[in-house]
Amino acid sequence: MGSSEEGENMNDPVPEAERTDLSRLIEDGVRRGVARALAEHKKAGRSIVVMHEGKIVELSADEIPDTDVEDDPPNEGHRLRVL
């Protein structure tokens, strides 16, 4: 990991075949958590700070992309629960 070998995606360093069900659930929970946080900031009119093209940039609430948090299906069928 960490090297830029051919075929390795730095945003997805673990090949799909090596992922466990648990790691998929964790990744899904993190993505949904970030989406919910973005939606909360946008709704409350708060800005966020992100890194874009190597620079730190502040996005106003209006510039925060819309997320489909309302259509977020609950994770059923396992013991992990996202609050």
Q: Kindly report, residue by residue over 68-79, the tens digit of the pLDDT.
A: 765 555 544 445
pLDDT-based confidence at residue 22 (cuts at 50, 70, 90)? confident
pLDDT at residue 12, rounded to an integer? 65
Helices (H) and strands (E) in the chain, counts: 1, 2
Positive or negative: CA dihedral 17, 19, 20, 21: negative
CA dist., res. 1 & res. 24, Å (int): 18
Q: Enter the pTM of the model.
A: 0.58
Per-residue pLDDT, 21: 81
18 or 80, greater pLDDT: 18
More confident residue, 67 or 37: 37
